[in-house]
A and B are shown apart, each in its own frame.
Chain A
Amino acid sequence: MATATMTAKKEKSVLWDWLTTVDHKKLAILYLVAGTLFFVKAGVMALFIRIQLMIPENDFMTGQVFNELITMHGTIMLFLAVTPLIFGFMNFAIPLQIGARDVAFPFINALGFWIFFFGGLLLSVSWFFGGAPDAGWTAYVPLSTREFAGSGMDFYALGLQVSGFGTLISAINFIVTIINMRAPGMTMMRMPLFCWTGLVTSILIVFAFTPLAAGLALLMLDRIFSGQFFLPDMGGNAILWAHIFWIFGHPEVYILVLPAFGIISEVVPAFSHKRLFGYTAMVFATIVIAFLSFMVWVHHMFTIGIGPITNSVFALATMTIAVPTGIKIFNWLFTMWGGKLVFNTAMLCAASFVPTFVLGGITGVMLSMAPVDYLYHDTYFVVAHFHYIIVGGIVFGLLAGLYYWYPKMFGHKLNETLGKIMFWSLYIGFHLTFFIQHILGLIGMQRRVYTYLGGQGFDMMNLVSSIGSFVMGAAIVVLVINIVYSAYTSERITVRDPWDARTLEWSTPTPIPEYNFAQTPQVRSLDPWFYEKVHGDGTMKPAEPMGDIHMPNGSILPFMIGLGLFIWGFGMIMLNMDNPIIPPAIVIGVGFVITFGMMVLHSKEDHGYHIPVDEVKKIEKGVG
């Protein structure tokens, strides 16, 4: 049976293979590609926004288009660009770092990707059906209710509902993988920090995306079925939405930034050639940050006027977050202290992350002071603050991860010269764009307004900011060029460990065979690969004899379930359309039947196949 499946597998076409794959390494690449596409899309929107704001009273676009662009820029960047990019790295690195052959639920892993992807698609098609959502990424009611917002908000509510569900099940998969699938000897406190942050991020997703799902359901019910949750006339309450949104929204910030912390904690020790300083403190800081992230959401709502006691409590809780974050910053500095530093592009991104993130953190503490927040609220100071966290923190972290893991993922390094050009232009462009926005905010420029009058002292600074954003855009172009250029010219990597790194993923052959580890490794210490290089013979000790390797079968069902949910969501939106060509009920029914029909089909047992031991030996000889 096993050999029959092996030959059948080889006949798959490339497209069919990628649509049906359940391999975590391939799904990682799918996540990266999808995330990059959404990232570029939202980045272009940002450039349009900066063109509009370059000069006072610009008429490059109307206020409506501006509103749609800022909404989509924020929504896409957070839900559809950064989230899949971190999921890409988590998918790739976590099973390798804990010594597993695959994730706990390969099928769910693929399902999570396709549901996320179709959810993102649903949000994106809004442009063709009456315009994109336009109530800001926070979708505050009553602005986003049926009374005031256009059909775009329906796409917002349903697109995010669908893609959020995909994110949720992927997170559950990561949690179970990390808890149940670790190799022998890989105790929780020997896991690389990226696995720890991946675990904590996944836990945050489980407990933060569920309130979001509830909130989006309320918004959808308000808009499509005229639910009365938010209208004071009908007994509703507008602040309800703000609470639910920020109960999700604040942890979301940490969902995005913790994996970036994890990547930095991998890259910095690797290129300092030193073990991570204060590993235990790092782990506990991560957990404390995660806990506190659920206790601070009202700081987004200081000016709503809930009352002085509430504001004080939440201001204090917010300031507390600076403590564990400070611990992390110092640990990275001490890791670099006295190390044999190698400043390649990955390390440049990681090292520059530290000061940039400190700046974002400091402004965060400034914003946490409730009385002063009345001054900062809804100005460009806030915009500058969160872009220092998101671009200066997360994007630099992701780039560090990209340059670091690229040779393992694709079998060749990215070009260093182009990489350094990218880094410096991005770094300079970033500070040019956003540092000046602190000052713009302090002198009173409001965010979310599509233009401003000249002669208020805003003109010059806005111009500088826009120029900075073009420099950042150019840096991303250089990155794309680098990827294409390196694919053709870079030297193929055949060694296991091109960076002389420390963690388990570098003990696998390059390119990685489908089953990751021919024999599950025995882990003897933190940084197991480094330990074997120094104290052992430079190879991982196997924890089991060579044998047949059990692998899961690919499946088209995840793709179909994603498609079914897309059709269902679109049908729900059609309920609100003036002239749906097909009756919405039919579309909803078709989507429903596809989704649940595929689930029923999935209940058929599928035990996967085995790669026979001879085959494994042959592959190992080929790559070893």
Chain B
Amino acid sequence: MSDEMSKPFPKSAMTEDERYELKRETRIQVISFAFMIGLTIMSFLSVSTETIVTGFAIPFILLLGAVQFFLQLFYFMHLKDKDHGWPNTFFTTGLVLMTPMLIALILLLGVTKW
């Protein structure tokens, strides 16, 4: 076993189906990358052009940021795949626990009394 650990393989054990899946996967990754680039351009544009009012631009870029966040996690980092139950649990836990923390550090600093 130990010696096999550092031995390269002459071929891959993937079946035809798996190979096809991986091809599809690659295509999806590239598309989601293009999509992310689009999102980024949109959020930069919505801030730098004068025509869009601030009241719309701010929630809009936050929304775009959130969408991109999920794309990154679920596609680039494969959280969508199976066998990712525990990683999902831990990452979600982190997100849930940081929410009150962020709110507190922004709002509850004693400047405004809540």
Residue ID in chain B nearest A210 by CB atoms: B94
Residues in B59-93 with C-beta less than 8 Å from chain A: 86, 90, 93
The residue from A239, A244, A309 contacting B110, defined by CB atoms under 8 A apart: A239
| A294–B97 CB distance below 8 A | yes
Interface assignment of A267: CB less than 8 Å from any CB of chain B: no
In Å, the complex CA distance between A310 and B109 comes to 11
Residues in A220-251 with C-beta less than 8 Å from chain B: 237, 239-240, 243-244, 247
A-side contacts of B94, CB under 8 Å? 207
Interface assignment of A298: CB less than 8 Å from any CB of chain B: yes
A179 CB, nearest partner CB in chain B, Å: 6
| A211–B101 CB distance below 8 A | yes
A-side contacts of B109, CB under 8 Å? 237, 239-240, 243
In Å, the complex CA distance between A481 and B26 comes to 67
In Å, the complex CA distance between A259 and B105 comes to 30
Interface assignment of A338: CB less than 8 Å from any CB of chain B: no
| A243–B2 CB distance below 8 A | no
Residue ID in chain B nearest A238 by CB atoms: B110
The residue from B2, B93, B104, B114 contacting A207, defined by CB atoms under 8 A apart: B93
B-side contacts of A203, CB under 8 Å? 90, 93
| B113–A243 CB distance below 8 A | no
In Å, the complex CA distance between A605 and B104 comes to 45
B-side contacts of A306, CB under 8 Å? 108, 110, 113-114
A-side contacts of B110, CB under 8 Å? 237, 239, 304-306
Interface assignment of B14: CB less than 8 Å from any CB of chain A: no
B-side contacts of A307, CB under 8 Å? 108, 112-114
In Å, the complex CA distance between A53 and B2 comes to 62
| B101–A607 CB distance below 8 A | no
Known: A207-B97, A240-B105. A305 touches B113 (CB 8 A): yes
Residue ID in chain B nearest A309 by CB atoms: B114
Interface assignment of A283: CB less than 8 Å from any CB of chain B: no
| B105–A243 CB distance below 8 A | yes
Interface assignment of B15: CB less than 8 Å from any CB of chain A: no
Interface assignment of A608: CB less than 8 Å from any CB of chain B: yes
B-side contacts of A240, CB under 8 Å? 105, 109
Interface assignment of A550: CB less than 8 Å from any CB of chain B: yes
Interface assignment of B51: CB less than 8 Å from any CB of chain A: no
| A310–B2 CB distance below 8 A | no
A-side contacts of B6, CB under 8 Å? 605, 607
In Å, the complex CA distance between A244 and B1 comes to 47
Interface assignment of A610: CB less than 8 Å from any CB of chain B: yes
Interface assignment of A295: CB less than 8 Å from any CB of chain B: yes
Residue ID in chain B nearest A295 by CB atoms: B100
Known: A207-B93, A307-B114, A550-B2. A298 touches B101 (CB 8 A): no
Residue ID in chain B nearest A172 by CB atoms: B90
| B100–A294 CB distance below 8 A | yes
| B86–A298 CB distance below 8 A | no
Interface assignment of B5: CB less than 8 Å from any CB of chain A: yes
| B113–A605 CB distance below 8 A | no
Interface string of A175-211 (1 = CB under 8 A from B): 0000100000000000000000000000100110001
| B93–A247 CB distance below 8 A | no
Known: A203-B93, A247-B101. A310 touches B86 (CB 8 A): no
| B5–A310 CB distance below 8 A | no
A-side contacts of B2, CB under 8 Å? 550, 607-610
Interface string of A292-321 (1 = CB under 8 A from B): 001100100000111111100000000000
A192 CB, nearest partner CB in chain B, Å: 20
Interface string of B1-39 (1 = CB under 8 A from A): 111011000000000000000000000000000000000
Residues in A72-95 with C-beta less than 8 Å from chain B: none
A178 CB, nearest partner CB in chain B, Å: 11
Q: Which of A239, A305, A308 has the most CB of B within 10 A?
A: A239
In Å, the complex CA distance between A239 and B94 comes to 23
B41 CB, nearest partner CB in chain A, Å: 32
B4 CB, nearest partner CB in chain A, Å: 9
A104 CB, nearest partner CB in chain B, Å: 13
A186 CB, nearest partner CB in chain B, Å: 16
Residue ID in chain B nearest A204 by CB atoms: B97
Q: Which of B3, B111, B113 has the most CB of A within 10 A?
A: B113
**Sample (15) of A-B pairs whose CB atoms are under 8 Å apart:** A207-B93, A211-B101, A239-B108, A240-B105, A243-B101, A243-B104, A243-B108, A294-B97, A294-B100, A305-B113, A306-B108, A306-B110, A307-B112, A309-B114, A607-B2
Given contacts A179-B86, A247-B101, A307-B112, 5 further A-B contacts (CB under 8 A): A237-B110, A243-B108, A304-B110, A550-B2, A607-B5
